[in-house]
Structure 1
């Protein structure tokens, strides 16, 4: 397997039964809320067909549609789960599907710390228990012209963060991926500084479009897509949506983020989808949807400007890219 040095990596390449039963009981107890971009998507004819492509096991029950969901055609399930950026399992886009098959995302816990009143280490089911699940369909675009439309199952990040009572010092939220080279063989190579880190400004983190996802296509998250818990920030480039989260920290200062640290001139902290700000090595004005031959115009904020543009009012988005 070819391992590339950091300076030549493209962002497009970044691209026991008792436990299972316990999770199913949690879902029944929680009640499921599924979520449909501007306008309802309940009853769209392609929804049932697309969900049928997901595995038969580990599926969620009925889900209510989100008001934020897109009415665009879904990406094929096999494409969404077989073409991924997850360097913890390899740098080629086909590596995660191959090398994450034996990864066991249970048991799992999430550490919450920093500027909050209720820090601690939480078992995943305890971390999730207070929240209803929401199924949201978002358009996700990554740097260098490829994108997908995925029906995520999750809940607003803000609902989780409020539980831990962040203090007035909490200006940002930092996230960290599991670091375990034995379970994540890609971490045995220093292609990135491990563990993978990301961060959001507090108002970004609290926005209802920002979700913690636990599933996709009506089923649990596949390992290669960030099981068991990942971030989804649909108006930002894909590398902001950190996978397999084990730590959430409230900070007063802007936290470190992996790609911004590695190549600060190429990957800004904010990383909002902005077709007017080119990557130093390629244009970002157009994108290619996975499964399509032709490119299409990249939309500001990935098409979510009506929802999120106010977060950046008065900011120079070419400087704070």
Structure 2
């Protein structure tokens, strides 16, 4: 599979372009903290990130790189990928998950697989780790807010799990349901979203080999703030389509409700493929800022259709991707 590198764009990034209204004030506070924060403060955040990273199975996962599914882009540093996150269960600020996710307990953990399938299962984390050979894949991840990262994820194609449970002919969609535990997740008490967090894919999307059942990153288990202990990564879609801390996977007949589509249907469609030709109602999607690489006033990169993963284009043949955004 050919993976293209993103060319540099020509637009300057403006925070008002890329920041949702509901979190703008917390973002401004975060940027101010970055500007005046001490070295010690940065070290504490990095230490908290590493501590959360060690909450799951110790040691490396031993996954081998799959070059056929790996972007050639320069990888985002672990420090950036683990301290600049969207994980609303732990707060709306980009640094909130790294500060707050230490309360998440990724073990013991089970995921129930149910619905329109012949073989319902409940799998613990060790069973998930052993269900199929683990691979490392370097995926670009683009956020709807206009920033992107390049992360070495560890997991296997979601289709490996799907084949094990044998969906019936009635299974048209796959729904992912995240943990919603106020005792572990302080953000669940907020009214930002309806909890638990839900996401979904059409069956053919879920079966595409790029859709990754993800159990690690940077060679080890997932840090809490990045969706431990199990999440989905769909690299051709905006980041919010990749459900984190999954506790249930359901195979259903009808298109499932999804968290952001339910919260703001005019802004977040069910499909949510990366499409530079479809602007968010409050900002352009034509360009992006690569975290850890581009300075705040450096020119942006041009956003690529499907985030550069053109292998998925046949899934949407004949669809109006401005209508089904």
Fold in common (TM above 0.5): yes
- Give 5+ residue unaligned stretches, structure 1: 1-6, 15-52
- Superposed, 1:19-30 pairs within 5 Å as none
Figure out how many residues of one structure are paired with residues of the other and give that number.
275
Distance 1:96 1:62 in 2: 26
SS at match of 1:67: helix
| 1:59 is aligned to 2:64 | no
**C-alpha deviation, 1:8, in angstroms:** 4.0
Q: Could you tell me which residue of structure 1 aligns to residue 301 of structure 2?
A: 296
Distance 2:136 2:201 in 1: 22
Q: Could you tell me which residue of structure 1 aligns to residue 319 of structure 2?
A: 315
Q: Are the aligned partners of 1:66 and 1:134 in contact in 2 as well (CA < 8 Å)? A: no
- Superposed, 1:29-48 pairs within 5 Å as none
SS at match of 1:176: strand
Query: 1:169-204, CA deviations, whole angstroms, 9 ceiling, x for partnerless residues?
Result: 000000000011101111122221000000000000
Distance 2:170 2:23 in 1: 36
SS at match of 2:69: coil
Q: Could you tell me which residue of structure 1 aligns to residue 22 of structure 2?
A: 9
**C-alpha deviation, 1:144, in angstroms:** 2.3
- Superposed, 1:208-247 pairs within 5 Å as 208-247=209-248
Which consecutive aligned stretches of 4+ in structure 1 deviate over 3 angstroms post-superposition? 53-57
SS at match of 1:100: helix
**In the superposition, relative to structure 1, how do residues 312 and 62 fare at CA in structure 2: closer, same or farther (>3 Å)?**
closer
**RMSD of aligned C-alpha atoms?**
1.9
Q: Are the aligned partners of 2:23 and 2:92 in contact in 1 as well (CA < 8 Å)? A: no
Please, what TM-score do these two structures have when normalized by structure 1?
Answer: 0.82
**In the superposition, relative to structure 1, how do residues 314 and 128 fare at CA in structure 2: closer, same or farther (>3 Å)?**
same
- Give 5+ residue unaligned stretches, structure 2: 1-19, 28-48
- Superposed, 1:259-298 pairs within 5 Å as 259-291=260-292, 292-293=294-295, 294-298=299-303
Please, what TM-score do these two structures have when normalized by structure 2?
Answer: 0.81
Query: 1:65-113, CA deviations, whole angstroms, 9 ceiling, x for partnerless residues?
Result: 2401101100011000000000001110100001011321000000111
Q: Are the aligned partners of 1:211 and 1:231 in contact in 2 as well (CA < 8 Å)? A: yes
Distance 1:186 1:303 in 2: 33
**In the superposition, relative to structure 1, how do residues 276 and 62 fare at CA in structure 2: closer, same or farther (>3 Å)?**
closer
Higher RCO, 1 or 2 (CA under 8 Å, sep at least 6)?
Answer: 2
Distance 1:301 1:185 in 2: 33
**In the superposition, relative to structure 1, how do residues 90 and 10 fare at CA in structure 2: closer, same or farther (>3 Å)?**
closer
| 1:200 is aligned to 2:204 | no
Q: Are the aligned partners of 2:129 and 2:215 in contact in 1 as well (CA < 8 Å)? A: no
SS at match of 1:85: coil
SS at match of 1:88: helix
